[in-house]
Amino acid sequence: WLGLGRWESVSLVSSELSSTMMLVLLPAAAQSADGPATADAARGLQDALFELKVECPVKVMHDKLYLRISGWIYNEPLDYLRLALAVERAVLPGPSSIHAEAPSALAEDVAVAEDVAVAVAAQEKERLDTLYPIAAPI
């Protein structure tokens, strides 16, 4: 899950037991300092993500906030990085929290991430071409 690994988070179940859906614990900055997480807090964060053009359910489980993410064919690895960046913008204090410029700031972060993803994809293609060379046309 590109991006979400940056939180050193855990899932409620092991990856062997999950299918295409997974609950991922949100970072400490997203958790309530005043006690157990609430449904209102989950809705607030989900709404904040929506304002950042990201659609992802936020759930309360065992008094903590989790993201319910999908690893299905319509999601690409870069989508998880976009999600991680949006969560960080929504929950971290200061200039990275939600404000009027957040969508454009998020777009800048995503543009950098896309450049990195393109470079990684090129490296992977080169590696695969080396492992599995395609015969030149005759």
pLDDT at residue number 16? 67
Q: What's the CA angle centered on 122, arms 129 and 117, to 5 degrees?
A: 145
Conformational region of residue 94, where left means phi above 0, alpha means psi within -120 to 50, and beta covers everything else: left
Cα separation, 22 vs 38, whole angstroms: 20
The predicted pLDDT at position 96 comes to 44
d(CA 68, CA 63): 15
For position 58, what pLDDT does the model report?
Answer: 95
Q: In 3-state terms, what secondary structure has residue 19?
A: coil
Token reading at 64 = 């903590």
Query: Cα–Cα distances in Å, from 129 out to 62, 77, 96, 122, 135?
Result: 47, 21, 40, 10, 10
Would you state the pLDDT for residue 8? 64
- In this predicted structure, what is the pLDDT of residue 78? 78
**pLDDT for the residue numbered 65:** 92
Please give the chain's pLDDT, 138 residues, in tens. 445 556 666 666 666 666 778 888 888 888 888 889 999 999 999 999 999 889 999 999 999 999 998 877 787 777 888 888 888 888 875 544 444 445 565 566 667 667 766 776 777 777 777 877 776 555
